[in-house]
Amino acid sequence: MADVPLATPTLTSARLGLRPFRDADGDALFALHSNGAVMRYWDGPPWRETQRATRFLATCRRIAEDGTGARVAVVRLTDGSFVGWCGVTRWNADYRSASLGYCFDDAVWGQGYATESARALLDWAFDTLPMNRVQAEVDTRNAASARVLEKLGFVREGTLREDCIVNDEVSDSWVYGLLRREWSRSGVPASVSDPSRSETPS
């Protein structure tokens, strides 16, 4: 576990802005996670209570305060609309490892936003942390998410059999891993506005 705060970055890629979550994101966040199509392959059912968004935002702040990673809102630069989120979390300084996660509105699927935002955040994470390994897990039925990870250079390492049971539906998960020496940058680094490490996001 980390023992110092880790400021959540503000990043800009070609089409997207990645920034700390704000309380005002609660409604958009709830709309995202209450969408049955978006949550089809998630490890839990769609949200039904708006308080789930409040708890999610509190967890984002705690992750930064604990120094265990960063979870960012992803917005489209052309109109500022919230399209999803991306996170590098579960940072373990002893093992120099972390986990990657992301979630995007089905209205923007197929546009490469998940790949673009994850690449920008991974660039930041590899630059900021002495991270050696990033892990991600994906439902074996979610071919689109698996392609995102493979585009980023992740290697499929194994299968967690009957890993999740959601609404009595049993599913397997693939485990993907990415090592520092395997990481390939996009060629055009994201621009970064990163406050002091000692700060915590508002």
In sequence order, which residues have a C-beta less than 8 Å from that of residue 127 and are 6 or more positions away? Answer: none
pLDDT digits (tens, 9 = 90+) for 157-177: 999 999 999 888 999 999 999
The sign of the torsion formed by the CA atoms of 169, 27, 110, 11 equals: negative
Task: Please give the domain boundaries of the chain with CATH numbers for all domains.
Answer: 10-131 (3.40.630.30)
- The pLDDT of residue 199 is above 70: no
| Among 100, 67, 97, CA closest to 180 | 97
What's the chain's average pLDDT? 91
pLDDT digits (tens, 9 = 90+) for 86-101: 999 999 999 999 999 9
| Among 147, 77, 79, CA closest to 114 | 147
β-bridge mates for residue 20, sequence order: 72
Mean pLDDT of the 145-149 span: 97
| pTM of the predicted protein model | 0.89
| Among 87, 79, 73, 83, CA closest to 23 | 73
Which pLDDT band holds residue 184 (cuts at 50, 70, 90)?
Answer: confident
Higher pLDDT, 116 or 195: 116
- pLDDT at position 4: 81
